[in-house]
Each structure stands twice: as structure tokens, then as C-alpha cells.
Structure 1
Amino acid sequence: MKNKVRTILGDIPKEELGLTYSHEHIVIDDGYVTAAHPEFLLNDKQRISQELSAFKAMGGQTVVDTMPANAGRNPVLSAEISKKTGVNMIIPTGIHLEQYYPKNHWRYHINQKELTQLFIDDIELGIDAFDYGSPIIKRTNHKAGLIKLATDNDAFTDHQQMIFRAVVDAHLQTGAPILTHTNFGKQAFAQGKRFAELGANLRHVVLSHVDRNLDLDEHRRILDLGVSLEYDSFFRWKGEDNHSVDQLLALIESYPEQIVVGMDMAKNAYWESYGGTPGLCYLYPKIKEVLYENGKEKYLNNIFHQTPMELFSFFL
């Protein structure tokens, strides 16, 4: 499995990953998350396929979907969309923020060993067709290709520390990469430090949303740990200043193999196929334009091809 990427349709050599968006929300099925956040509902096969087909026509080849266990995954729908559009989809296991689960959720009642095994089974056996929302587990042949972890603004709780250990244990046993959620980049350094303490392979760990933190020195501290950063707020800034662009331009020369980008379009109002804006096809032309305008065009391949290829491949 080493040097291969596990997509929803099977394993591929990392060299076949192609132009990659590194943090997306492609399928979020109806459930607890969308009941509280109806704007997150993304389960219309036709509309999703339309958006991904436009991405494919632009040259896109792979999207990293980032909703983990029991938070809206639908492995069968994801596989159908991937097959229909020809776009590779990497689907995670792992656990999201506490707010996306009921207060009595099973995540609070299983131990570290059990949680580790759940992650491993998603990776090696297949994702449950019911996404662990039923007392019956019916595994599909569609497997998870990475492990997600999420923390909020505060110091890590004992429960979150348990999840860290389970995530790293599964990571070290399977070789699967790790992707995290940070709230506006908060606790990103603490995340990276904790992964280092637990012995994770930091070349296969990426922390998301860090461009919402405007402290460039903090970005450097995190990158110096050896993890990668994912920026995804290029279309979110209001006014003339695009801080994500500024950060990318400031850091890409010093850390050419540690920065990737995505859209993080969890709201259906961001999708052109749902009648929204800016759509998936916004990002690549935007990054290409700013890199060429600033004489840094040689890093375009790193951001969309080389770094994702190494980051999201298995290391065992």
C-alpha cells in the first residue's frame, strides 16, 4: 500500500492523483448535522456531479472530502459520483467537532482501543453503509483513505486527547494520512506538537483552516514542526485584503512542500450547481493568477500536485 492513495473506488498510485483540492465537502447526507445546519446538506447526485464535472473539465482530478464517521458520509453515493464524473474522491474516517454529534453519542462511551479499531476497519474493511447510524453495521467495499481529527478554540479535553491517541494509533498501524480541523487556526500549533509527541509521521499530517489565523510567525512555528498546512479561505475575506493570498505568497518559497489549498465548500450556497457562488472552479485559476503575478509560478505544481501526492499517500 505504500506510496498509494486510497480513493473511494480503490487504491491508485500516488502519481495518478493529479490536480488536487485538499479540503472539500462533497457529500453531506441528511442526518444530525444537517438537521442543525440545513445549509450543509449536499446529497443531490445530479448537482454534485455537475459541479465535479466542471472541476474535471478544468483539469481537476482529485478532491479530499472531509466529513468523518457518523457526520454525513454516504460511501455508496460518493462512489457513484466519483465513477460518474471521473474525479477521484478520498473519504475520511475519524471524528469531527463535538457540536456535530448528540450529547449522548457513542463517541463518548467507547474506549481508545475500540475507537482505534473503528478507524482501522473503515480503512481496511470498508465504510459502513449506514455510517454507524444504525445498530446494524453493513460494510461496503468503499474504504477510507485518511483519518480526520478536530479541535475547537480551547485546550484539549481528556476526551479529545483520547481521540488524538486513537487517531495516531490507527495512523501508525495502517499508514493512512491525517487531516485536521482547526477553528480559525486556533490550537494548530498544539495539534502539531501533540502529533509529534505521539510519534505520528508528520510528513503525512495536514492541519486545515490555518489561514484564518493572521499571525505569520505562528504559521512558521507550526510548519517548522514538520506538518503541512491547508489554506481554504481565499474566497471568504471581505474587502480588499485577501489574507490567504498574502500568507501563501509569504511562505511558499520557504515551505514549498508543506502548503496545500482547498475550498472547504460545506455550505450548498457556495456551489454553482446549487445556484450559489463561487463554485469549485474558482480556486485553481485564482491561485495560478496570483502566483504568476508575483513570479512564483513554479510553486503551482507543488501546491496542487506534488505536495498532495506525497501528503495523502500511505506510508506503510
Structure 2
Amino acid sequence: MPINNEGYTYCHEHLYIDLSPQKGNIDCKLDQYSLIAQELSDLVSHGVFNIVEVTNRYMGRNPHFLECLKRDTGMNILASTGYYIEGFFPKELYDKSAEAIRDEMVQEIEVGIEDSGLKASLIGEIGSSENAFTDTEKKVFKAAAMAQYETGRPISTHLSFSTMGKEQIVFLKQCGADLSRVTVGHCDLRNDLDQLLWIIDQGCYVQFDTIGKNSYFPDETRINMLEELAKRDLLGHVMLSLDITRRSHLKKNGGPGFLYLLDTFLPKLKERGFTQQQVDTMLRHNPYTLFN
């Protein structure tokens, strides 16, 4: 489904995800339909028309849940294909070849996801562990590069606490990936300007996509980092999102909610001198360029 360029796009979200078996915490099962649907309806009324939903295989992906949200809220939802990170892989993945994984990805892009009416619009979120990039994670990345070559679809990656960004991009380049069609997730959990500049210099996008998770990293420092990129006229390689993954992240459950980016973070950017044109670049034009 193409991006609706009339509105904003959140580049990295989860609308149904279940990591509770691995984490032993029911809060990690985001499945409260009425609360999520209400927040999405509120987003649409505030001009967010697209969400890139990066829940893939064995993260509890539920395509029928997404189809209902699209129907009931009018939100344009882009679904994903792939595998996440070590610790969340199914046992059978270790015995699969990169070519077999590629074929699965291409199937979900070109034919569809399970028995739903959804096709995957991107390959993601595929990731590396904190300060490590395991052989199986690399196998998934190799498969992603091959699937990208066959389908032209973009790749969205996961950095664990903003580590291993260079290693991901070096490996994707070795695998022949089109780096202009790669976006690197969770670049905003460590104050590492050199890594950001290097990733952008390779032609990739960087995501500031854990906005509002101040217990991990403060928004004020995120804004400082964005200022440094703005000074270098590099916001054309930046996208924004929240990465809501838990029940407790929803507004009715006491969390920041999906509107936090618009209601809290953007006013802080404007106070620091960011223009509407710069906001539109990060939330409208860049996602349209990459995900279409």
C-alpha cells in the first residue's frame, strides 16, 4: 500500500506485538484493540495518515488485527516481513538457508502474509544484538539483501541500544544491498554523532524512533542530536517515531500514547528553532521517498 503523502508517517511502530513469552511479562503483549483503535483514530484526525508496522514473524504478528485497524480507523498501515533478533528466533530458523529465508520474504511481499489480504511493504525490523551481530542475524540480513534485490522493497533494521550500526551497514553492503533503500532503527538511544554521520554518509536513513522513552534516553538529548544534523543540512536522511510496544505505553494505561510525538515532542522542536519545513521533511517527505 503506497504512502499517503498528504499526512505524516510514523516510520517504526507496533500495533500488535507479543514478546511476553520471551520476556515473561504480559505488559509486552500489545493487543488491546479498542484502546489502540482509538489512538489511531486520534492520530488520523491530527494528520498522521501512515504507520510503518514493523512486527514480523515470531514477534506475535497478527495481520487480521491490522486489517481491522485499517478498516475501523482509516489508518494506512504498512506491514513487514522478516525475523527480529537472537533470542526471538524460532528453532527452525537456524537450519534454514539464507535463500530459503529470502523466499519467505519475497512470498510475503508479492503474494501475501498468511491468509490475510495484506502484503508486506518492507523487510523489517531485522536486527543485531547489543554489541554483537550473530551468525544467524547475519543470515537474516543476507536474506533481506537478496529479497530487496528481487522486490525493490526497503529494509528497516533494529539496533539494540544504538549499537552495531556500522557493522550492519558494512555487512549489507557486502551482500549487495541498495543502501539508499535502508533505514537504521533506534539510532537515538546513544549520543553517538559520529555513527549517525557515518550511516548517513553511506546513503542510509537514520531513525529517531524511541521518542518519549525518556527512561532509556532523554528527549532533550535527542533534540540536541537532531540539531547537530540540522546544522549539517542532513535532516533529509532522518525519520521520527515512538516504537510503542507495551500496553503501558498506551495513553489510557498511563503511558505517553501515540500522540506524544505530535503533542509533546514537536512543540519542543519548534521551541528550539526547527521549522515546519524541517518537520515535514522528517515526518512526510522522507518516509514517502523510502517506503513507496
**Alpha-carbon shift at residue 181 of structure 1 (Å):** 0.7
- Whether the aligned pair in 2 keeps the contact of 1:29 and 1:74 (CA below 8 Å) is no
User: Given residue 69 of structure 1, which amino acid in structure 2 is its aligned partner?
Assistant: R
| d(CA) in 2 for partners of 1:250, 1:108 | 41
Q: Deviations over 1:135-181 (max 9, x none)?
A: xxxx3221111111110123422222211110100011011111011
Pairs within 5 Å for 1:30-41 = 32-33=21-22, 36-41=24-29
The 3-state SS of whatever aligns with 2:87 is helix
Shift of 1:241: 6.7
Amino acid at match of 1:146: L
The TM-score normalised by the length of structure 2 is 0.92
- The whole-number CA distance in structure 2 between the counterparts of 1:227 and 1:183 is 18
Q: CA 1:225 to 1:186, structure 2 compared with 1: closer, same or farther past 3 Å?
A: same
Q: Which runs of 4+ in 1 moved over 6 A?
A: none
Aligned match of 1:270:
249
Superposed CA deviations along residues 116-150 of structure 1, whole A, max 9, x for unmatched, are: 0000111111111xxxxxxxxxx322111111111
1:99 to 87, 94, 107: 87
Does structure 2 conserve the Cα–Cα contact (< 8 Å) formed by 1:31 and 1:72? no
Aligned-partner Cα distance in 2 for 1:118–1:147: 11
Taking only the aligned residue pairs, the percentage that are identical comes to 27
- Cα distance in structure 1, aligned partners of 2:211 and 2:12: 13
AA at the equivalent of 2:39: E
Cross-structure match for 1:279:
257
Q: How many residues were matched structurally?
A: 288
Q: Distance in 1 between matches of 2:53 and 2:286?
A: 17
Q: Does 1:140 align with 2:137?
A: no
Contact 2:4 2:49 in 1 (8 A): no
Corresponding residue SS for 2:256: coil
Cα distance in 1 for partners of 2:108, 2:287 equals: 21
Kindly provide the amino acid, as one letter, of the partner of residue 22 in structure 1. Answer: C
Equivalent pair of 1:75/1:127 in contact (CA under 8 Å): yes
> 2:98 is aligned with what amino acid?
Q
Aligned-partner Cα distance in 2 for 1:218–1:211: 11
Whole-angstrom distance in 2 between the partners of 1:296 and 1:284: 14
* Aligned residue identity for 1:36: G
Secondary structure of the residue aligned to 2:30 is coil
CA positional deviation for 1:15: 4.9
SS of the residue corresponding to residue 301 of structure 1 reads: helix
In the alignment, structure 2 segments of 5+ residues that lack a partner are none
Partner of 2:287: 308
For 1:200 and 1:37, locate their aligned partners in 2 and report how far apart those are by CA, in whole Å: 36
Q: Structure 1 unaligned runs (5+)?
A: 1-10, 129-138
**1:234 maps to which of 201, 205, 211:** 211
Instruction: Give the partner amino acid of 1:175.
Output: G
Q: What is the match of residue 171 of structure 2?
A: 194
What CA deviation, in whole Å up to 9, does each residue of 1:249-280 have, x standing for no partner? 2113421211001101111101014x222111
Matched, 1:255 2:241: no
Deviation at 1:32, TM superposition (A): 3.9
Cα 1:176–1:81 shift into 2, 3 Å:
same
